[in-house]
Amino acid sequence: MERLQQDVSLLIESGLQNVKSKLSIVPGSSIVLRYISSSYQNDPIRSVFELFLLLFAIRYFLASKYSYSKKNYVQLTEAEIDELVDEWEPEPLVKPLAGSERWELETIPVFEKCNGPVVKLANGSDKELLNFSTPDVYNVSHDEAIREGAIEQIRAYGVGSCGPAGFYGNQDTHGKCEQKIAEFLGTEGCILYAQGFATISSVIPCFMKRGDVIIADNKVNVAIQKGMLLSRASLYWYEHNDMEDLEQVMIMANKSHRRGPLPRRFIITEGLYENPGDSPDLETIIKLKNKYKYRLVLDESWSLGVLGKTGRGLPEELSLPRSEVEITMGCLTNAFGAAGGFCAGRKPMVEHQRITSLAYTFSATMPTYLARTTITSIANFSDEAYRKANFDPLAQKARAFNEIVSKSKAITVTSRPDSPFVLLRINLDILDRLEESGVLKTVSEERLLQNIVEKMRDSGFLVARQKKLAQHEMFPIDHSIKVSINNGLTLAQVTEGAKALSLAFEDEVKGL
C-alpha cells in the first residue's frame, strides 16, 4: 500500500513538472506559478477556492447565452403563431388626446403665409387679419436690412452650428453678440443660450442648490418656476408686488436658516411680468435685498427693448444701476425679433455657466443669423433716429389701445398702461357673479375667452388667449387674452382693434 502511494505521488509530481515545463514557454507564467506555489503553502484552502472560481468562470463564459428548461418549453405550430400575431394589439406610442386637449389643439390658428402685421389663415378663407398676437413689436421680421443680414450670414456660416459651444459650436458671431449684449446692458460679460425657456430654467439651478434660499413673486413665469424646482433650494413666495409681504418673508426665511453655514439667498422677479403684465417695485426690492443680504435675479425677457429710454429695461426706466442686479437673464424672442436667450452680469458669474449650465453645455448653439439679428437690433436701439421712428410711435399706440379697452366695464386690464403687451381679463366683478350663479361650472372662463377670440377673428383681427398648462403651474392660473401691439400696424388700425375687442368682451358677457 505504501509502495502504491509513493508511485501515485511520483506520478502527480512528474505530471506537475511536465505542466510547469509546458507553461514555462508562456511569457509571464513563472510569476503565476510562483504565486500559486506560495499561495498553496501559506493558505491551501484559499487556493482551492480560487481554483473553484476559475472553473466557475470558465463554465460561465463557455455556457450558452440563453438557457431554458426544455421540459417547460412549448413548441407552437405555425398556425398558432399566426393566430397570436393576429390577436396582438400594440399599445399606442402616445395616449389619445382628451376632449379638452383636442379642443385646445383645434383652436390654434395656422398661418398660410409668414407671420407679420397682416396674416392670412390656412382655413380656406381669403380674408386677411390684422395681427395683434405677434411679440415682434418692432416688426423686425419684415425689416429688409435685417433680412439681408440674415441671408448673408446663412451663406457664410450655414443655417445651424450642429454642436454645443464647447464642441466647435461657438463661432465668432456668437462671441460678438455676447459682447454687444454686455455693452448694451453695461455688464462685464454675457453668455448666449440657444433656447429662451431653457435659459431661465438652467441659469437658476446653475447657482442655487439644496440648502440655498429663494424668494420669488407668486406670479413669476413657468420657466422661473421650473428652474427653482430644479435647484432643490428652499422656496419662499410673496404676494404679487406686495413689498410689505416680501419683507416679512425675508425676515422669516432668515430666521429659519440661522443654524449651520450661511446659505446663499436670492430674490427672483421679472422686469415686465409675463402673466399679469405689470412691473415690480424694483427700487424697493433693491433696498430690501441690500438690507437683508440677498442677491437679485431679474428676468427681462419682456422688458428689454420696451422699457427705458433706450430699451435697456426696467433698471434704466427707474434710473437704477445695472450693478444692483447680480444676474440679468432673458430671451431674445420679443423686441429683438430673434430667438434664444442670454445671461449677463459679472465676468466670473458668466464664465461659471460655460461648464456648469446644462442648457449651455449640452445644447447646440443658436444659428448665427439669429445672433446677427440680435446684434443689428441692439445697434438699432442705440441709434437715436431709430428710437424716434419706432419707440415713440409704439408707445403712442400702446397708450391709445390701453386707454380704449380700460374704459370697458367688461374688461379688467392687468398690464401696464404704457406696455405694448396688454393682458385683458373678463371683469373680476363679473367673474365673481358668474361663479356665484354657477355659470362657470357649465362654461369655463377659457371657453368664454375663446369665444371672444373667434368674434375678433370674424371682425378681421387676430388675438390669442394666454395659454398655459395647469399641471406645470405652481399657482392657480389667471386666464386672459394677450394682445401684442406692433409697429407694422397704424394708429388707426390699433384703435379700431381696441374698439372691436371692447365690443367683443361686452357682447360675450351681456347674456350671462
**pLDDT of amino acid 451:** 94
Arithmetic mean of pLDDT, 247-270: 90
Q: 416 and 326: one domain?
A: no
Query: For residues 112 and 203, which has the higher predicted lDDT (pLDDT)?
Result: 203
Give me 460's grid cell: 378681421
Note whether residue 152 is domain-resident: no
CATH number at residue 239: 3.40.640.10
Single pTM value for the model: 0.80
Inter-residue contact 357 to 327 (CB < 8 Å): no
Residue 40 pLDDT level (bands cut at 50, 70, 90): low
Domain boundary among 362, 382, 402: 382
State the residue for C-alpha cell 371682425: 459
Range of the domain at 183: 160-382
Share of the chain above pLDDT 70, in %: 90
Of the listed ranges 59-68, 88-97, 174-183, 345-354, the least confidently predicted one is: 59-68
Of the listed ranges 16-30, 96-110, 154-168, 232-246, the least confidently predicted one is: 16-30
pLDDT at 504 over 60: yes
Domain boundary among 382, 402, 423: 382
Inter-residue contact 501 to 423 (CB < 8 Å): no
**pLDDT of amino acid 97:** 86
Q: 210 and 312: one domain?
A: yes
Strands lying side by side in the sheet with 481-484: 411-413, 421-426, 481-484, 464-465
Report the candidate in 478, 61, 493, 460 with the shortest Cα–Cα distance to residue 277. 478
Report the candidate in 454, 424, 451 with the shortest Cα–Cα distance to residue 121. 454
**pLDDT of amino acid 20:** 66
**pLDDT of amino acid 350:** 96
pLDDT at 214 over 80: yes
Note whether residue 317 is domain-resident: yes
Note whether residue 88 is domain-resident: no
CATH number at residue 107: 3.90.1150.10
Chain-centroid distance, C-alpha 359: 9
Total count of domains within the chain: 2
Arithmetic mean of pLDDT, 137-145: 91
**pLDDT of amino acid 484:** 95
**pLDDT of amino acid 256:** 86
